[in-house]
Amino acid sequence: MMAVHAHPDDESSKGAATMAKYVSEGVDVLVVTCTGGERGSILNPKLQGDTYIEEHIHEVRAREMEEAREILGVKQEWLGFVDSGLPEGDPLPPLPEGCFALEDVDTAAGRLVRIIREFRPHVITTYDENGGYPHPDHIMTHKISMVAFDAAGDPEKYPEAGEPWQPSKLYYNQGFNRPRTEALHHALLERGMESPYGEWLKRWDEFQRAERTLTTHVPCADFFEIRDKALIAHATQIDPDGGWFRVPLDLQKEVWPTEEYELAKTLVDTSLPESDLFAGIRDNA
């Protein structure tokens, strides 16, 4: 299994419990991180103003990634592109020269093809065409993942990238979906607890966000603690006392014990909905 992500920390906030579950079952899991997160802000208020971190953010985030990798039990490779940053303002400023989002899609996909052919995954996870949220690096990650999935098995494409290998399935991460958010929101309110999701749901309504098709619900509640430890390892990005951790784990396990995916491409027969990213593959292995 290969999980393609834009920045260090994305692997721990999107599908981490799923990866830890499969690792526990003996599945070889590789995280491919497209950029180093060089332009990421320090989001943890406890570390803001730390001059060393600000001046060495690339190295710090690499160390955080290594710690998270060890917690999850996965392998990890850097694709080697430079973080594009998240442009803000009206009008939006131009993206910085040389950043990931401005790379030629086909050329950039060649690096991912090489790793696919070396690692030989049966399943790849990535982001949908909106990037999960419209960060330019997330959208670019989607673009190169789609090109690489189709090209990796074609001997005429990227012949310099190694022997062809065709993955069987490609999924979009859809962990931040409305059914899950609503279920946790109402469960918290029913128990007389404060919910961090009220504003999320209002924004969904305001922007009329289209609902995605959730094809695959992977049971992985036993690995939520590992997921959270890996996320906390990204200390510059995550406040351990912040909103990510306001929903008690016991409640999460009871109300919504799965992580969700959208099956985008498959070359094997499968029956929807699924509970396993390897559905249709295990029988043919």
- What's the Rg (C-alpha) of the chain? 19
- The pairing of strands 258-266 and 169-173 is antiparallel
Query: HSE (CB half, 13 Å, CA atoms) of 53?
Result: 19
Rounded (10°) CA dihedral 45, 19, 63, 244: 0
Find all residues with CB under 8 Å of 11, minimum gap 6, and list them. 3, 5, 19, 31, 33, 68, 72, 74, 76, 230
DSSP collapsed to 3 states, the chain:
CEEEECCCCHHHHCCHHHHHHHHHCCCCCEEEEEECCCCCCCCCCCCCCCHHHHHCHHHHHHHHHHHHHHHHCCEEEEEEECCCCCCCCCCCCCCCCCCHHHCCHHHHHHHHHHHHHHHCCCEEEECCCCCCCCCHHHHHHHHHHHHHHHHCCCCCCCHHHCCCCCCCEEEEECCCCHHHHHHHHHHHHHCCCCCCCHHHHHHHHHHCCCCCCCCEEEECHHHHHHHHHHHHHCCCCCCCCCHHHCCCHHHHHHHCCEEEEEEEEECCCCCCCECCCCCCCHHHC
Annotated binding residues, written as ranges, equal 7, 10, 138
Which segments are annotated as binding site for Zn(2+)?
7, 10, 138
